Amino acid sequence: MIRIVTSVLAATMAMSLPARAEDLVFLSTQLRPVEEAQKMREIILKAGPVLTTYVADFPQVVPTRLAAEREGGKHTVSLVGGLHGELQPLVTAGDLMPMDVLAAKLAGRGIPPALMELGKLGTAHQMYIPWMQATYIMVANKQALPFLPKGADINALTFDQLAEWSAAVQASTGKRMLGFPAGPQGLMHRFFEGFLYPSYTGGVVSTFKSAEAEAMWTQFAALWKTVNPNSTSYNFMQEPLLAGDVWIGFDHVARMLDALRQKPDQFVAFPAPAGPKGRGYMPVIAGLAIAQGAPDAKGAEALIDYLSTPATQIKMAQTSGFFPVVTATLPDDLEPGLKLAVAAIARTQSAPDAKPSLLPIGLGTQGGAFDKIYLDTFQRVVLRGEKPRAVLDRQAEGLKKIMAETGAPCWLPDKPSQGPCPVE
Cβ proximity of 300 and 294 under 8 Å: yes
- Kindly state whether residue 21 participates in binding another protein, applying the rule CB under 8 A: no
- Kindly state whether residue 8 participates in binding another protein, applying the rule CB under 8 A: yes
Number of C-beta neighbours around residue 20 at 10 A: 10
Cβ 128 to another protein shortest distance, Å: 20
Using the rule CB under 8 A, give the single segment among 7-15, 137-145, 381-389, 392-400 that binds another protein.
Answer: 7-15
- Kindly state whether residue 67 participates in binding another protein, applying the rule CB under 8 A: yes
- Per CB under 8 A, the list member of 48, 49, 51, 53 interacting with another protein is 53
Instruction: Please say which residue, 258 or 371, places its beta carbon nearer to another protein.
Output: 258
- Kindly state whether residue 83 participates in binding another protein, applying the rule CB under 8 A: no
Cβ 156 to another protein shortest distance, Å: 31
Cβ proximity of 326 and 111 under 8 Å: yes
Q: How many residues bind another protein (CB under 8 A)?
A: 49
- Kindly state whether residue 117 participates in binding another protein, applying the rule CB under 8 A: no
- Kindly state whether residue 34 participates in binding another protein, applying the rule CB under 8 A: yes
- Per CB under 8 A, the list member of 13, 329, 332, 352 interacting with another protein is 13
Instruction: Please say which residue, 189 or 355, places its beta carbon nearer to another protein.
Output: 189
Cβ 58 to another protein shortest distance, Å: 6
Task: Say how far apart CA 134 and CA 194 lie, in whole Å.
Answer: 13
Cβ 70 to another protein shortest distance, Å: 9
Using the rule CB under 8 A, give the single segment among 69-77, 106-114, 149-157, 285-293 that binds another protein.
Answer: 69-77
- Per CB under 8 A, the list member of 48, 51, 65, 125 interacting with another protein is 65
- Kindly state whether residue 230 participates in binding another protein, applying the rule CB under 8 A: no
Interaction with another protein in 231-270: which residues (CB under 8 A)? Answer: 235-236, 238-239, 242-244, 258, 262
- Kindly state whether residue 143 participates in binding another protein, applying the rule CB under 8 A: no
Instruction: Please say which residue, 21 or 124, places its beta carbon nearer to another protein.
Output: 21
- Kindly state whether residue 93 participates in binding another protein, applying the rule CB under 8 A: no
User: For the chain, what is the HEC assignment?
Assistant: CHHHHHHHHHHHHHHHCCCCCCCEEEEECCCCCHHHHHHHHHHHHCCCCCCEEEEECCCCHHHHHHHHHHHHCCCCEEEEEEEHHHHHHHHHCCCECCCHHHHHHHHHHCCCHHHHHHCCCCCCCCCCEEEEEECEEEEEEHHHHHHCCCCCCHHHCEHHHHHHHHHHHHHHHCCCCEECCCCCCCCHHHHHHHHHHHHHHCCCCCCCCCHHHHHHHHHHHHHHCCECHHHHHCCCCHHHHHHCCCCEEEEEHHHCHHHHHHCCCCEEEECCCEECCEEEECCEEEEEEEECCCCCHHHHHHHHHHHCCHHHHHHHHHHHCCECCCCCCCCCCCCHHHHHHHHHHHHHHHCCCEEECCCCCCCHHHHHHHHHHHHHHHHHHHHCCCCHHHHHHHHHHHHHHHHHHHCCCCCCCCCCCCCCCCCC
- Kindly state whether residue 74 participates in binding another protein, applying the rule CB under 8 A: yes
Cβ 38 to another protein shortest distance, Å: 5
- Kindly state whether residue 15 participates in binding another protein, applying the rule CB under 8 A: yes
- Kindly state whether residue 5 participates in binding another protein, applying the rule CB under 8 A: yes
- Kindly state whether residue 322 participates in binding another protein, applying the rule CB under 8 A: no
Cβ 203 to another protein shortest distance, Å: 32
Cβ 297 to another protein shortest distance, Å: 17
- Per CB under 8 A, the list member of 48, 51, 57, 152 interacting with another protein is 57
- Kindly state whether residue 32 participates in binding another protein, applying the rule CB under 8 A: yes
Cβ proximity of 279 and 355 under 8 Å: yes
Interaction with another protein in 177-206: which residues (CB under 8 A)? Answer: 185
Task: Supply the angle between the helices 211-224 and 388-406 in degrees, to the nearest 10.
Answer: 120
Task: Say how far apart CA 253 and CA 313 lie, in whole Å.
Answer: 17
Instruction: Please say which residue, 57 or 305, places its beta carbon nearer to another protein.
Output: 57
Residues that bind another protein (CB under 8 A): 1-2, 5, 8-9, 12-13, 15-16, 19-20, 23, 25, 27, 32-35, 37-38, 41-42, 53, 55-58, 61, 64-65, 67-69, 71-74, 76-77, 185, 235-236, 238-239, 242-244, 258, 262
